[in-house]
Amino acid sequence: METTTTPARTARRPQAAAATTGPRWQRWAKVAVFVAAWYPLARIVFFGVTDRLGANPIEFITRSTGLWTLVFLCITLAVTPLRRLTGWNALLRFRRMLGLYAFFYAALHFTTYIWFDKWFDVAAMLKDVGKRPFITVGFAAFVLLVPLAATSTKAMVRKLGRRWQSLHRLIYAIGVLAILHFWWMKAGKHDLVLPKIYGAIMLALLGWRLAVWLMARIKARQAS
């Protein structure tokens, strides 16, 4: 259990103070992020009980959960560049939770589609995929998210070692597939404003990683 550290006690034990102040605010920040991440679901529930989901509630829920999956994917991918640019290593402590929320909203998005939209009717789903192939791309992104969520525990990180990092590079493919899914869907509606904005964000996040990787290779070549 956490103990309170008074000024008199910390003056005598400076290392103890340094060790406790950091983790304590980080714990509170983690709780704040954990609670804030429920906002999208709370909003849907609130709109549901106050009868404000619109004429097509299933469409509202599918779109809302889809968009929030993308938002959490972008935030998760932004953690590493932000940490590098600011030197704020504590940001890494939030990455796993944010990634798991991306998976959570993707699972809600997928469940809304196969359950409440299609009632597990495989024939209806296949017919829909034939008409709207962007669904297959979203499905591919979701399938790739599953092993990432399943291996997100500390025990799995330890068990997989270097293979964990290789496996988690799937997040780049997921980012590309998510944008393709969104872009393709909206292209059919001639409404590409949001896909262009999210596409630019994803391009910046993935482009930054590519630039870092290329620079590391160039440096390694020069050193050898």
Query: What residue ranges bind ligand HEM (CB under 6 A)?
Result: 59, 62-63, 66-67, 69-70, 106, 109-110, 113, 135, 138-139, 141-142, 145, 174, 178, 181-182, 185
d(CA 9, CA 185): 60
∠ CA 151-155-161, nearest 5°, is: 75
- Report in angstroms how near the CB of residue 188 gets to ligand HEM at its nearest: 9
Closest CB to ligand HEM among residues 69, 76: 69
Closest CB to ligand HEM among residues 17, 58: 58
- Report in angstroms how near the CB of residue 144 gets to ligand HEM at its nearest: 8
- Report in angstroms how near the CB of residue 2 gets to ligand HEM at its nearest: 37
Q: Identify the CA nearest to 175 among candidates 63, 36, 89, 75.
A: 75
d(CA 98, CA 88): 17
d(CA 88, CA 11): 26
- Report in angstroms how near the CB of residue 63 gets to ligand HEM at its nearest: 4
151 touches 157 (CB < 8 A): yes
108 touches 47 (CB < 8 A): no
d(CA 18, CA 28): 16
Which stretches within the chain are classed as H helix?
7-12, 14-36, 39-49, 57-86, 92-111, 122-131, 134-150, 154-160, 162-167, 170-187, 193-223
- Report in angstroms how near the CB of residue 194 gets to ligand HEM at its nearest: 6
Closest CB to ligand HEM among residues 20, 47: 47
- Report in angstroms how near the CB of residue 43 gets to ligand HEM at its nearest: 14
